[in-house]
Amino acid sequence: MNTSNTIDPAGSGQGEGVDGILGSRSGGQFLRRALWTAAALIVAAGAALVYFREDEQTVAPRYITDAATVGTLVVKVSATGNLQPTNQVDVGSELSGIVAEVYVDDNDRVRKGQVLARLDLSKLEDAVARSRASLAVAEASVLQAQATVAEARATLARFRQVAELSGGKVPSNTEMDTAEANLKRAQANEASARATVAQARAELQSNETDVEKASIRSPIDGVVLSRRVEPGQTVAASFQAPVLFTLAEDLSKMELQVDVDEADVGKVETGQKATFTVDAWPGRHYEAVITRVGYGSQEKDGVISYLTVLEVENDDLSLRPGMTGTAEITTITRENVLLVPNAALRYTPPASTDGAKKTSGRGLLGVLIPRPPAPVRKAQPTTTSGTPRVWALRGGRPVAIEIRTGATNGRVTEVVGGPLEAGMQVITESVSAPP
């Protein structure tokens, strides 16, 4: 049985040629491209319609306002410093020697004149004994000089009597002059001996004073803040008196020494009240009063400040020397004044404040071509010739109100002049602005 294959030269029937197959694939690709192009045009047209509609919408700014109120303005200055006793004394020793005994320790209460420590008295007592012996020798010398004076005076008196009885023939003039000179010499020796006695007595007194100073006594009634000496320690007072104890006179009254910045020192005056806190007692506020504002400046890390002293009551002894205190000094207190928020003084409306703005349509070409960047609008000045102003809404539009301002505490500012009245709403912020 013979079998034969028949080829259709026109490309019809089931047996398609290569050209037919290729033609079929090209038609499918063209159809798909046409569909994708149509879909892209539809999306672009929809986006253009949405953009066009949004572009035609009206955009209006919204504002946040706050009322001008009547209240109390309190202005405070912050400063930090350390607590110190009102009278702190460093007790030292004028003498050198070995510490024999120490009678007090830290936190002990002492009375004026109480012995705190005592140096070894051996050498000092020896010096006193030598001085007493020298004084006794000097006093004996005085007695000897007095006897010599008496002898010379008697000799001179006898010569004068003999001369009177002999009519001046005897004794000779030389003998008379010698007798007179001996008397004067004896009197001078007596004066010298008396001076030696005074010198020996002064030396004895000085040595007795050293013995007294060997007992280190408290100069005040107070509390021992620190003890820096131990028994057996050698004290050398050759150039300066070493500090052995530090005493505080009365811890129920203390002072807070703070550094006030040069920008704030002009507001701080004696007599102003303040409150301060310490880390040891969180949440507790202590009262204080300024007693001194220093004129001398001090520099630390390039910052200029002035030492200010505040008087503090410490009846419960909760405060201790050296604690760090953060003080709030009340410099200004004004009641029943008109106040506006500082945000209202800082607010500046946009360049266009017509309430609403409408943009023009730009067509499909304008949608497809990006717009050039909009010019930057300059903010309107908040002052005219240095006069502060706030903005209030009238008919939906912000209107400037010029005012005169006074003191401020950083949050609100006092209004001392202008048409602004209590209760008027002033603009503090724009929620949204025109594009």
pLDDT tens digits, residue range 234-248? 998 877 778 999 999
Long-range interactions of 290-293: CB distance < 8 A, separation 24+: 290/329, 291/255, 293/260, 293/265, 293/268, 293/269
Question: Average pLDDT, whole number, for the chain?
Answer: 83
Query: DSSP for 278-308?
Result: ETTSTT--EEEEEEEEEEEEEEETTEEEEEE
Question: How much is the average pLDDT of 376-400?
Answer: 69
Average pLDDT over residues 242-269: 93
Q: 190-205 burial, b for 16+ CB within 10 Å, e for fewer?
A: beebbebbeebbebbe
Q: Which of 19-28, 60-69, 400-409 has the highest mean pLDDT?
A: 400-409
Separation between Cα atoms, residue 131 and residue 126, nearest integer Å: 9
**What is the distance between the alpha carbons of residues 46 and 44, in angstroms, rounded to a whole number?**
5
Q: Which residues contact 214 (CB under 8 A, 6 or more apart)?
A: 95, 97, 118, 119, 120, 121, 124
| pLDDT score of 21 | 43
The residue with greater pLDDT, 330 or 10, is 330
Amino acid at 315: D
- Which pLDDT score is estimated for 223? 93
Q: What is the pLDDT of residue 44?
A: 67
**With 80 as the cut, is the pLDDT of residue 384 above it?**
no
CATH number of 89-119+217-249: 2.40.50.100
- Is CATH 3.90.1150.10 correct for 78-86+252-335? no
pLDDT at 340 over 60: yes
Give residue 7's pLDDT band: very low, low, confident or very high (50, 70, 90). very low
- Are the folds of 78-86+252-335 and 89-119+217-249 the same? no
Confidence grade of residue 221 (pLDDT, cut at 50, 70, 90): very high
> Does residue 367 surpass a pLDDT of 50?
no
More confidently predicted of 201 and 354: 201
Percent of the chain at pLDDT > 90 equals 65
Q: What pLDDT, in 10s, does the model give residues 146-155?
A: 999 999 999 9
Per cent of the chain over pLDDT 70 is: 79
Q: Is the Cα dihedral 105, 106, 112, 118 positive or negative?
A: positive
Q: 64-76: per-residue pLDDT in tens? A: 999 999 999 999 9
What 3-state DSSP class applies to 319?
coil
Residue 386: predicted pLDDT: 63
Tokens of 426: 């002033």
Contact 128, 203 (CB under 8 A): no
Residue in 227, 216, 224 with CA at minimum distance from that of residue 249: 224
pLDDT tops 90 at residue 259: yes
What are the sequence ranges of the domains in the chain?
78-86+252-335, 89-119+217-249, 121-213
